[in-house]
């Protein structure tokens, strides 16, 4: 928790100091109010035994008590306002830090934390830390200061009543320690089980079409009920244990009041104590108990915040394996070369790619084809550094990609993923991902090249609302809009990861024709399942189980590569393939 506090701004520390000062003043006012109460009781007692009581005496003390009460009210409001300001601003900063950190993660770090867990850490855990900070600012200063003032007042008043108060404190501490050792360890379990329930919920919502298609609603409901029941049982256990805290403390406090009055009555009878002293002692004793109750409550609540803070720090302390390089000034443009590249996923034993070597120059088109699982997408993901190679080198414009600053490398690339993804917003806002200052004419040109002119038939044209993930347009439309987003960037190198799979043959052909004309000076890297998509490529790389088993043009591969020939014949027919 302390480690997270370094993210506070300097003015938040100033506000915290102000909270400390106001809290001390508030406690002093509380003690003063008790003293005034003792004065009133003393005046009344004096009057009851025949001493004269002036009409203004009670009013003078009463006015002071009203002013003190108003001062206490103002202090409480100010402290609450400042504490909520500091804690809310703190949670905003932490959420931003987590978001920035996650954006810097490579695929390896993303796989380390599940999406559901990252969401929980960014929301639920941050909220727990915020509440812990707010509670600490409100109580961590108030409780010890109040206890110090109150103890200073009661010590010396009556040894008998003081020992009675100490006994009540002992009972209270026993109750708190019991809850601390029984309930607190469950807080970590609650956060992990919250991760699980978020994961099941997200998985169900993401795969809702599959669930309905296979009538698997009941299975999903059972899965959800399992984790839901598990979380509920843990929460119930913790809440039931915590529910013992306040009734137990009420019992101790009321018992202490009875004990003080009982012992005080005896002391008054033997003329060892005065009644006003008894009344003020009870008030001071209650403040001592309340102070220790607040301290005990902090010891119960803070561990929950500490658990959440630890989970947040796990994210913030994780260093991305993909970091900025020293920076380069390449003399070439649009050139890509793989030199003896091998790759295996983290913690995997077998290589997914082995000894891959090829080179493509500016303006050329290189394509990758192979059976499912042959490593095509993995190979091209090494270019934008979604992963780094295990062996060998990936060169862009003659420089190792690991030497580039990530932003510089990304500026050279126009990446179209296998599954086109659109963000919530408008068609235009999605296109501006490619180029922030793109004009409507540039957007329209990109849409025309990518065969996405269907946009002009939609309500609002470029301002048509796109839902999260692009779920309100078809798969083929998403792919074409994703291609348009890359085209508008006008990069040196285009990477198409099976980006034409959802298109019919006619649209595919027209799109490639328009792309070849518009991007003739750019290098194009294409992963495809259809031979017809890559038949005109300058070079074709054939992959089989992570190995490069063919390299050349379509005609060359038909003569020299059995794997390619088999794929081509199965798609084009024996006659056309030859």
The CATH number assigned to the domain holding 59 equals 1.20.1560.10
pLDDT score of 46: 58
Same domain, 37 and 107: yes
Confidence tier at 576 by pLDDT (50, 70, 90): very low
pLDDT score of 338: 92
CA distances from 127 to 68, 118, 130, 200, 497 (A): 35, 14, 5, 21, 39
Q: Is residue 229 part of a domain?
A: no
Q: Is residue 202 part of a domain?
A: no
Instruction: Work out the mean pLDDT of the chain and round it to a whole number.
Output: 83
DSSP 8-state assignment for residue 497: E
String of DSSP letters for 500-520: TTTS-HHHHHHHHHHHHHHTT
Beta bridge partners of 413: 493
- As a whole-number percent, the residues of the chain with pLDDT over 70 amount to 94
Gap between the Cα atoms of 326 and 330, Å rounded:
13
Same domain, 288 and 395: no
The two tokens of residue 26 are 């508030």
What would the mean pLDDT of 388-407 be, rounded to a whole number? Answer: 89
What would the mean pLDDT of 475-498 be, rounded to a whole number? Answer: 88
Q: Is residue 213 part of a domain?
A: no
- Of 134-138, 273-277, 373-377, 390-394, where does the model show the most confidence? 390-394
Nearest residue to 108 via CA among 474, 312, 313, 381: 381
pLDDT score of 536: 85
Gap between the Cα atoms of 25 and 20, Å rounded:
9
Gap between the Cα atoms of 413 and 76, Å rounded:
57
381 or 210: whose pLDDT is higher?
Answer: 381
pLDDT score of 70: 92
Work out the angle at residue 475's Cα, subtended by the Cα atoms of residues 469 and 477, and round it to the nearest 5 degrees.
Answer: 95
120 or 392: whose pLDDT is higher?
Answer: 392
Q: Is residue 237 part of a domain?
A: no
CA distances from 445 to 121, 438, 461, 484, 538 (A): 42, 11, 14, 9, 26
Gap between the Cα atoms of 220 and 241, Å rounded:
32
Gap between the Cα atoms of 134 and 3, Å rounded:
16
Same domain, 406 and 489: yes
List the CATH number of the domain containing 551. 3.40.50.300
- The answer to whether 367 and 498 have CB atoms below 8 angstroms apart is no
pLDDT score of 207: 78
Among 69-73, 513-517, 552-556, the least confident range: 513-517
The two tokens of residue 376 are 């095509």
Q: How many residues appear in the chain?
A: 578
Confidence tier at 478 by pLDDT (50, 70, 90): confident
Work out the angle at residue 421's Cα, subtended by the Cα atoms of residues 512 and 401, and round it to the nearest 5 degrees.
Answer: 75
What would the mean pLDDT of 399-420 be, rounded to a whole number? Answer: 87
Same domain, 467 and 507: yes
**Which residue range(s) make up the domain with 23?**
4-196+243-316
Gap between the Cα atoms of 403 and 186, Å rounded:
46
Confidence tier at 569 by pLDDT (50, 70, 90): confident
Q: Tabulate helix, strand, coil % of the chain (nearest 5).
A: 65, 10, 25
At residue 578, does pLDDT exceed 60? no
Same domain, 570 and 487: yes
Same domain, 364 and 311: no
Same domain, 412 and 519: yes
Q: Is residue 567 part of a domain?
A: yes
Strands, sheet with 523-527, edge to edge from the N-terminal-most edge strand: 399-400, 391-396, 336-343, 353-360, 547-552, 539-544, 365-370, 523-527, 493-497, 413-416
The single residue listed with the structure tokens 């091998």 is 342
Same domain, 279 and 368: no
Nearest residue to 389 via CA among 349, 339, 347: 339
- The answer to whether 420 and 481 have CB atoms below 8 angstroms apart is yes
Nearest residue to 190 via CA among 65, 352, 304, 344: 304
pLDDT score of 44: 61
290 or 367: whose pLDDT is higher?
Answer: 367
Among 145-154, 350-359, 556-565, the least confident range: 145-154
At residue 57, does pLDDT exceed 70? no
pLDDT score of 42: 64
At residue 45, does pLDDT exceed 80? no
345 phi-psi bin (left φ>0, alpha ψ -120 to 50, beta other): beta
pLDDT score of 56: 62
What would the mean pLDDT of 173-183 be, rounded to a whole number? Answer: 78
Confidence tier at 476 by pLDDT (50, 70, 90): confident
Q: Is residue 226 part of a domain?
A: no
Q: Is residue 215 part of a domain?
A: no
pLDDT score of 241: 79
At residue 575, does pLDDT exceed 90? no
pLDDT tens digits, 224-254:
888 888 888 888 888 887 777 778 877 887 8
The two tokens of residue 577 are 């393939």
Tell whether the torsion through CA atoms of 448, 454, 460 and 463 is positive or negative. Answer: negative
- The answer to whether 506 and 455 have CB atoms below 8 angstroms apart is no
Confidence tier at 52 by pLDDT (50, 70, 90): low
Tell whether the torsion through CA atoms of 399, 404, 406 and 407 is positive or negative. Answer: negative
pLDDT tens digits, 257-286:
888 778 878 877 777 767 777 777 777 787
Confidence tier at 574 by pLDDT (50, 70, 90): very low
442 or 471: whose pLDDT is higher?
Answer: 442
Q: Is residue 217 part of a domain?
A: no
Radius of gyration for the chain, computed over Cα atoms and rounded to the nearest angstrom: 36
**Angle formed by the axes of helices 440-449 and 505-518, nearest 10°:** 130
Gap between the Cα atoms of 243 and 240, Å rounded:
5
The number of folded domains in the chain is 2
428 or 191: whose pLDDT is higher?
Answer: 428
Same domain, 364 and 484: yes
Same domain, 159 and 76: yes
What would the mean pLDDT of 85-112 be, rounded to a whole number? Answer: 86
Burial of 506 (0-12, 13-18, 19+ CB in 10 A): exposed
Same domain, 157 and 300: yes
Same domain, 423 and 545: yes
């Amino acid at each position: 928790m302390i480690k997270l506090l370094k993210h506070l701004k300097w003015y938040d520390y100033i506000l915290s100091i102000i909270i400390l000062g106001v809290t001390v003043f508030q406690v002093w006012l509380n003690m003063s109010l008790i003293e005034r109460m003792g004065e009133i009781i003393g005046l009344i007692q004096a009057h009851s035994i025949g001493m004269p009581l002036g009409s203004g005496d009670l009013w003078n003390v009463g006015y002071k008590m009203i002013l003190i009460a108003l001062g206490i009210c103002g202090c409480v409001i100010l402290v609450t306002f400042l504490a909520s300001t500091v804690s809310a601003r703190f949670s905003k900063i932490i959420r931003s830090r987590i978001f920035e950190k996650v954006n810097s993660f490579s695929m390896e770090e993303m796989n380390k934390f599940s999406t559901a867990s990252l969401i929980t850490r960014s929301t639920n855990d941050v909220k727990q830390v915020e509440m812990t900070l707010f509670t600490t600012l409100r109580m961590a200063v108030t409780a010890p200061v109040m206890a110090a003032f109150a103890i200073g007042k009661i010590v010396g008043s009556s040894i008998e009543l003081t020992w009675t108060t100490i006994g009540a404190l002992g009972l209270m501490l026993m109750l708190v320690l019991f809850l601390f050792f029984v309930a607190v360890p469950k807080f970590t379990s609650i956060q992990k089980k919250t991760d699980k329930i978020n994961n099941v919920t997200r998985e169900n919502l993401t795969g809702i079409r599959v669930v309905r298609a296979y009538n698997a609603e009941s299975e999903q409901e059972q899965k959800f009920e399992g984790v839901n029941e598990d979380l509920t049982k843990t929460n119930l256990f913790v809440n039931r244990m915590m529910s013992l805290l306040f009734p137990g403390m009420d019992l101790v406090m009321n018992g202490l009041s009875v004990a003080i009055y009982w012992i005080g009555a005896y002391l008054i009878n033997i003329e060892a104590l005065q009644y006003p002293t008894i009344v003020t002692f009870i008030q001071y004793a209650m403040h001592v108990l309340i102070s220790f109750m607040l301290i005990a409550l902090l010891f119960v609540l803070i561990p929950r915040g500490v658990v959440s803070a630890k989970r947040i720090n796990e994210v913030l302390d994780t260093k991305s394996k993909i970091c900025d390089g020293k920076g380069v000034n390449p003399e070439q443009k649009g050139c890509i070369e793989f030199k003896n590249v091998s790759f295996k996923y983290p913690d995997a034993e077998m290589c997914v790619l082995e000894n891959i070597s090829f080179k493509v120059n500016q303006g050329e088109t290189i394509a990758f084809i192979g059976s499912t699982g042959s490593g095509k997408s993995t190979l091209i993901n090494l270019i934008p550094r979604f992963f780094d190679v295990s062996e060998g080198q990936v060169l862009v414009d003659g420089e190792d990609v690991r030497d580039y600053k990530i932003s510089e490398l990304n500026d050279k690339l126009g990446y179209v993923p296998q599954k086109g993804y659109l963000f919530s917003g408008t068609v235009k806002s999605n296109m501006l991902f490619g180029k922030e200052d793109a004009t409507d004419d540039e957007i329209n040109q990109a849409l025309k090249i990518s065969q996405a002119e269907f946009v002009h038939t939609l309500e609002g044209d470029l301002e048509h609302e796109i839902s999260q993930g692009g779920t309100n347009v078809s798969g083929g439309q998403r792919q074409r809009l994703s291609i348009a987003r890359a085209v508008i960037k006008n990069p040196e190198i285009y990477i198409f990861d099976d980006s034409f799979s959802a298109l019919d043959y006619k649209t595919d052909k027209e799109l490639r024709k328009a792309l070849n004309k518009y991007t003739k000076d750019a290098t194009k890297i294409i992963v495809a399942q259809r031979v017809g998509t890559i038949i005109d490529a300058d070079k074709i790389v054939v992959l089989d189980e992570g190995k490069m088993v063919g390299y050349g043009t379509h005609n060359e591969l038909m003569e020299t590569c059995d794997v390619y020939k088999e794929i081509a014949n199965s798609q084009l027919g024996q006659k056309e393939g030859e």
